[in-house]
Structure 1
Amino acid sequence: MTTSKLDAVFIAQRTPLLRTLIRMVKNPSVAEDLVQETYLRVATTLRERRVDHLEPFLFQTGRNLALDHLRHMRMKSRTLVEDLPGAVIEAIPDAASSTEDGLYAGQLLERLGTTLSRLTDRQQRMFILSRLHGLGHGEIAERLKVSPSTVQKELKLIMAICVESLSRLEPTP
């Protein structure tokens, strides 16, 4: 199949595809990026193999990209990103980071582990339920048989302890 055929289908289906992706990701800017990524992915696939039904393939590719984006965002929201200083976040190495970055990230994780081990059992459980399992204050309160305000105060204290502990760790040069 030629790229001119893909171009014709893409131009004809761009607006409905965009609407579909906006409904899925609830963000027009992200949806627009996903539409462009969809085109690129389909074009790459067409160079590698034949696609008999281009229009449904275009929409399925877009939906798959949107689902991948939503999964990524859900995982990202379960991390400590909003609770940690920017310097700590920037210190987390990416896949192509240097050995020094990896060592520093290891030190951060070790410090965080040590800090968490000093918390009470209840505080540790609250932290795990909140940050690793993604439970809300009400759900945690119910499980631990405490009030939601107790959970909120404890988590705020836990995060302050973690941030303070991690801020004392200086990055390696």
Structure 2
Amino acid sequence: MMLSVEEWTQELDTTFIANRTQLLRVAYKILGDWERSDDVVQDAYIKITEMEAAQKVRQPLAYLFQIVRNLAIDHYRRVVFESELFGVDEEGLQVPTLAGTPETHAINRQHLELVAEALAKLPDRTKRVFELYRIHGYTHRMIADELGISPSLANILIHEATNHCRNAL
């Protein structure tokens, strides 16, 4: 029996709320960070609600778990990639010391200038999302609330800005 859109949405909402803690744990096992896990779980919910054929999913809970797992893995890979690109300290607290060589300072300064130039070329909203995430440590949900956009869009804009900066280097 095929449920109406409203019935299916209500069933999905109930399933999501009842199992949110378990979904968070799945993401946390992969990411090791509760805030990022919460972002992933919210993104999973948004993803399944935006799917055109979501009503055809026979086991929405199993599907939600699979989406959370896949998004957490993608997020983990992205964090690893970004830490390789921008350094190990994800929050930007690791400041280079003056003990480095002049050559290292010159290279770092050039890289910083290239990244600053790349960011200046981005649209204001994309640049703001990137700064909130990389400099101020906002989560996707916090960015979405601050700018009035969806967490999914925040994620996309962060990814675009990161790729733009990487290409500049």
Normalising by structure 1, we get a TM-score of 0.49
Work out which of the two has the higher radius of gyration on C-alpha atoms and give 1 or 2. 1
Matched, 1:28 2:34: yes
CA distance in 2, matches of 1:70, 1:79: 14
Q: Which runs of 5+ in 1 are unaligned?
A: 87-155
Structure 1 residue 12 displacement after superposition: 1.6
CA distance in 1, matches of 2:59, 2:25: 21
Q: Which runs of 5+ in 2 are unaligned?
A: 93-99, 121-169
Deviations 1:108-148 (A, max 9, x none): xxxxxxxxxxxxxxxxxxxxxxxxxxxxxxxxxxxxxxxxx
1:78 partner SS: helix
Structure 1 residue 41 displacement after superposition: 0.7
Equivalent AA in structure 1 for residue 105 of structure 2:
A
CA distance in 1, matches of 2:17, 2:63: 15
Structure 1 residue 40 displacement after superposition: 0.7
Residues 12-161 of structure 1: pairs in structure 2 closer than 5 A: 12-45=18-51, 47-49=52-54, 50-81=56-87, 156-157=100-101, 158-161=103-106
Q: Kindly tell me: are residues 8 and 161 of structure 1, through their superposed partners in 2, closer, same or farther at Cα, counting changes over 3 Å?
A: same
Matched, 1:162 2:107: yes
Q: Kindly tell me: are residues 74 and 167 of structure 1, through their superposed partners in 2, closer, same or farther at Cα, counting changes over 3 Å?
A: closer
CA distance in 2, matches of 1:17, 1:36: 10
CA distance in 2, matches of 1:41, 1:168: 37
1:79 partner SS: helix
CA distance in 2, matches of 1:7, 1:168: 47
Of structures 1 and 2, the one scoring higher in RCO (CA 8 A, sep 6+) is: 2
CA distance in 1, matches of 2:111, 2:60: 51
Identity, in percent, stands at 30
Equivalent AA in structure 2 for residue 163 of structure 1:
N
Normalising by structure 2, we get a TM-score of 0.50
CA distance in 2, matches of 1:37, 1:80: 24
Structure 1 residue 80 displacement after superposition: 4.0
Q: Which runs of 4+ in 1 moved over 6 A?
A: 167-170
Q: Kindly tell me: are residues 53 and 163 of structure 1, through their superposed partners in 2, closer, same or farther at Cα, counting changes over 3 Å?
A: same
Q: Kindly tell me: are residues 44 and 159 of structure 1, through their superposed partners in 2, closer, same or farther at Cα, counting changes over 3 Å?
A: same
Q: C-alpha root-mean-square deviation of aligned residues, in Å?
A: 3.1
1:52 partner SS: coil
CA distance in 1, matches of 2:113, 2:30: 41
